Chain A
Amino acid sequence: MNDTLRLLGNGQTVALADLTPLPHDHFLETISNHTAHGWRVSSYCGVPDGEATVLYCLLASPMDGLLGVMRTVCSGNSFPSLAAHCPQLQLFEREIAEQCGIVFEGHPWFKPVRFVRSCCPGRDAWGRPADQPLQVGVMDYYRVEGEEVHEVAVGPVHAGVIEPGHFRFQCYGEQVFHLEISLGYQHRGIEQLLRGGPFPRTLRQVEALAGDTSIGHGQAYCMVLEALSRTRPPAAAEALRGIALELERLANHTGDMGAIAGDVGYLPTASFCGRIRGDFLNMSALLCGSRFGRGLLTPGGVLFDLDQRLRDDLYQRLEIGRRELTSAIELLWGTPSVMSRLEGTGPVAPDAARELGLVGPAARACGLKRDVRSDYPFGIYRMAQVPIVTAFHGDVCSRTLVRWQEAQKSLDFCQEQVSHLPSGRYVAEMKPLQGGQLAVALTEGWRGEICHLAMTDEQGRFGYYKVTDPSFHNWSGLALALRGEQISDFPLCNKSFNLSYCGFDL
């Protein structure tokens, strides 16, 4: 089955010259067959090459920690769509269409993703005139017609302090028949900025891909550079990166659980968690001075060590954090009015989650055992395992429960690592990047799988750099969770996913 895929591990490279372009039907069959056998599409992208477009697909095996990559050349302006049979591809195909101006024939939901021009001048998958500005959010929305059916439009600017996005609800009374989510407002053009790099600016831009996931994205970027230069970060660096990644998870999970409590009107946990989240952010600041971990990572290792005094301090703070978070969260499970609002709200069926290719806590809440830390171990997780937590009902309650249990595992992991932090160097000298390579790095951010895919030119510069944030996989999960629910439950469902707008919009 794998004679067409070039297999590689997480944080490894393949020579581009070894990736023989496949015939179209062979390429498409491989995607169909593999996804039917439990493989996932981690990334699917188009790289313009003169008049043609080279399509790359990165597939992730459900076992053995294997990844497989292949490519094909699309020389015209159209390519067959697989989205109708393989829904996890639908957004990837639309992204390629938007970026490269290729029409995906037979796509059931063929709409723009971020409302930006393609990088091939004169080519537009929707035939929009080049002399008129693109209007973000203006597209054909799915519409339910009928008596007493109404439409609710929300955003881009929302009521809270959150990022912008547009939501269209088709409602029958309170009941939501369908939710369509249209994004693109946060697009900053980061992938374009990365091309030709790495530059001295690149790491800080990557850290701000999704600013609440600076470590998750930053580490994936560092892994790409380390793979391309055959550099191995020292053990102490890997441990500190792991601690930082788990602190990021702790802070965000804590904030999310508090926000979920707030949205069901349970203020004690909302208040407590809002503050405790800050304590976890301050632990990241203890490592590197920034509450968001900015400046901790550097290609080859980390910029800061942790002396014994700071290790003891961090251990103590984790212990206090554990006690206070436990006190705040246990209140939820013991409060019937909270539980009745969480249970059964916004469910996603496991089969739907599998078809959509959900990742992270949203997938694990549906019983899918997916976690880069154990499936494709990287860095410290090759040595120290974090138990994977799953739940079964796929509802808001499951997503909350998964977060709480993951937070506990992260606390265990951090304390274990702080107690046994290796001594010695914490940054290795970087060697030059190899040219003509394709590198893949996956990390498990707090929202799920982060995928960075880089290709170098002959000089070892980035010819192409593709980032897939977990939110790219998961926004359609939120849309599905709302089906048949009350529109008043949208904020609660939204919080239980808490997806990134800028990570999606890049």
Chain B
Amino acid sequence: MLRALKERLTIQGYRTMSYPDGPVTLPERFRGYPQVADSLGPEQAAACAAVCPWQALAADAGQLTLDMGRCLFCADCPASTGVSFATNDHCLATSSREELLVRAGEPHHYARPLAPDLKKLFGRSLKFREVSAGGCNACEADSNVLTTIGWDLGRFGIQFVASPRHADGIWVTGPVSENMREALLKTWEAIPAPRIVIACGSCAISGGPFAGSPQVSTGLDSLLPVDLYIPGCPPHPATILEGVLRLQGRIK
């Protein structure tokens, strides 16, 4: 007992980060909010769109559009002439599928707070039932890491709960495998309405790396109405937290 206290006071220390009041430390090589080139000719834009293996890029009359819901933020993006991720901007979450589309010269969309009546109902806390539906355990791990002392999700009144009956919403990771679809929908039905739906990671948004497999869905919003889209493969914990804090209205 005394030894545990000693370790806490000497080596381990107080480690909860100041985010969102202070900055979050991101790795130098972090691939953040994409920047899309605007000066591409129609041919170059079309060439960029053609090389993305995830069909995250579309070209229309020289205008390149990047869909963050499909993009896996690959380190070796073959369309690097038209897209750059060297922004260190972790704010990727949005409130609608449409707002995940990034075009040159258009404003950066951020997730919006819950409607006032929902906010009033849920008060200062949000409880989620997490369901992994074909997830690879990376989105799950970086959701779960928010509950550790470094991020301390509990200080925002946000918690993962064991039963859907205790939850205000469902937090889905994975491309919704065929074999998990029923269990996912039953879990959602067991949550008392009104209920929030979060699609965490590119799999949940669009099928991610498995899009096109007959064993997975085309995205969670083909099954449930999604309130928060958090892109990334997997999203950085800061990206996830930022999205949820905006939903709560704690970041404006």
Q: What are the residues of chain A within 8 A of B78 when measuring CB–CB? A: 200
Interface check B174, CB cutoff 8 A: yes
B56 to chain A, nearest CB (A): 12
Interface check A334, CB cutoff 8 A: yes
- Beyond A186-B134, A303-B76, whether A289 also contacts B30 by CB under 8 A is yes
A295→B76 contact, CB < 8 A: yes
Q: What are the residues of chain A within 8 A of B129 when measuring CB–CB? A: 157
Q: How far is the CA of A163 from the CA of B172 in the complex (A)?
A: 11
Q: What are the residues of chain A within 8 A of B224 when measuring CB–CB? A: none
Q: How far is the CA of A87 from the CA of B185 in the complex (A)?
A: 37
B222 to chain A, nearest CB (A): 16
Q: What are the residues of chain A within 8 A of B175 when measuring CB–CB? A: 188
Which candidate, A74-82, A280-288, A398-406, A436-444, is the interface stretch facing chain B?
Answer: A280-288
Interface check A328, CB cutoff 8 A: yes
Interface check A175, CB cutoff 8 A: no
Q: What are the residues of chain B within 8 A of A500 when measuring CB–CB? A: 137
B210→A188 contact, CB < 8 A: yes
Q: Which of A173-205 contact B (CB under 8 A)?
A: 184-190, 192-193, 199-201, 204-205
Q: How far is the CA of A206 from the CA of B74 in the complex (A)?
A: 14
Q: B3 is contacted by which of A159, A192, A331, A505 (Cβ under 8 Å)? A: A331
Q: How far is the CA of A136 from the CA of B183 in the complex (A)?
A: 10
Of the candidates B76, B140, B147, B177, the one having the most CB atoms from chain A within 10 angstroms of its own CB is: B177
Interface check B234, CB cutoff 8 A: yes
Interface check B106, CB cutoff 8 A: no
Contact with A along B172-202 (1 / 0, CB 8 A): 0011011110010001000000000000000
Which candidate, A16-24, A209-217, A482-490, is the interface stretch facing chain B?
Answer: A209-217
Q: What are the residues of chain A within 8 A of B138 when measuring CB–CB? A: 208, 211-212, 214, 292, 294
Which candidate, B5-13, B33-41, B60-68, B94-102, is the interface stretch facing chain A?
Answer: B5-13
Q: Which of A266-313 contact B (CB under 8 A)?
A: 268, 271-272, 274-275, 277-278, 281-282, 285-292, 294-296, 298, 303-304, 310
Closest to A183 in B: B179
Q: A324 is contacted by which of B11, B145, B180, B216 (Cβ under 8 Å)? A: B11
Q: Which of B124-144 contact A (CB under 8 A)?
A: 129-144
Interface check A116, CB cutoff 8 A: yes
Interface check A139, CB cutoff 8 A: no
Q: What are the residues of chain A within 8 A of B122 when measuring CB–CB? A: none
Q: How far is the CA of A171 from the CA of B216 in the complex (A)?
A: 35
Closest to B32 in A: A289
- Beyond A187-B215, A268-B7, A327-B7, whether A285 also contacts B183 by CB under 8 A is no
Total count of chain B residues near the partner, CB < 8 A: 65
A186→B177 contact, CB < 8 A: yes
Q: A163 is contacted by which of B3, B29, B132 (Cβ under 8 Å)? A: B132
B8→A210 contact, CB < 8 A: no
A278→B148 contact, CB < 8 A: yes
Q: What are the residues of chain A within 8 A of B12 when measuring CB–CB? A: 272, 324, 327-328
Q: How far is the CA of A253 from the CA of B232 in the complex (A)?
A: 25
A274→B145 contact, CB < 8 A: yes
Q: A162 is contacted by which of B74, B132, B234 (Cβ under 8 Å)? A: B132
Interface check A350, CB cutoff 8 A: no
Band of interface residues on A: 35 or more
Q: What are the residues of chain B within 8 A of A192 when measuring CB–CB? A: 213, 215
- Beyond A161-B143, A164-B183, A334-B3, whether A188 also contacts B215 by CB under 8 A is yes
Q: What are the residues of chain A within 8 A of B179 when measuring CB–CB? A: 114-116, 136, 184-187, 505
Q: How far is the CA of A296 from the CA of B27 in the complex (A)?
A: 14
Closest to A295 in B: B75
A212→B137 contact, CB < 8 A: yes
Q: What are the residues of chain A within 8 A of B76 when measuring CB–CB? A: 295, 298, 303
Interface check B112, CB cutoff 8 A: no
Q: B27 is contacted by which of A204, A285, A298, A335 (Cβ under 8 Å)? A: A285
Interface check A156, CB cutoff 8 A: yes
A284 to chain B, nearest CB (A): 9
Q: What are the residues of chain B within 8 A of A193 when measuring CB–CB? A: 210, 212-213
Interface check A358, CB cutoff 8 A: no
B148→A211 contact, CB < 8 A: no
- Beyond A211-B141, A295-B76, whether A163 also contacts B7 by CB under 8 A is no
Q: What are the residues of chain B within 8 A of A116 when measuring CB–CB? A: 179, 215
Q: How far is the CA of A77 from the CA of B194 in the complex (A)?
A: 52
Interface check B107, CB cutoff 8 A: no
B137→A163 contact, CB < 8 A: yes
Q: What are the residues of chain A within 8 A of B143 when measuring CB–CB? A: 161
Q: B160 is contacted by which of A161, A164, A289 (Cβ under 8 Å)? A: A161
Q: What are the residues of chain A within 8 A of B225 when measuring CB–CB? A: none
B240 to chain A, nearest CB (A): 12
A275→B7 contact, CB < 8 A: no
Interface residues of B (CB under 8 A from A): 3-4, 7-8, 10-12, 15, 27-31, 53-54, 72, 74-76, 78, 129-145, 147-150, 160, 162-163, 174-175, 177-180, 183, 187, 203, 208-210, 212-216, 233-234, 236-237
21 contacts between A and B (CB under 8 A): A115-B179, A116-B179, A157-B129, A163-B135, A186-B135, A187-B134, A187-B179, A189-B213, A201-B54, A210-B136, A214-B138, A274-B145, A278-B150, A278-B237, A289-B28, A291-B236, A292-B138, A292-B141, A294-B75, A295-B74, A303-B76
Not counting A159-B162, A205-B209, A294-B75, a sample of 5 additional A-B residue pairs whose C-beta atoms are within 8 angstroms of each other reads: A186-B134, A211-B141, A272-B7, A281-B145, A324-B11
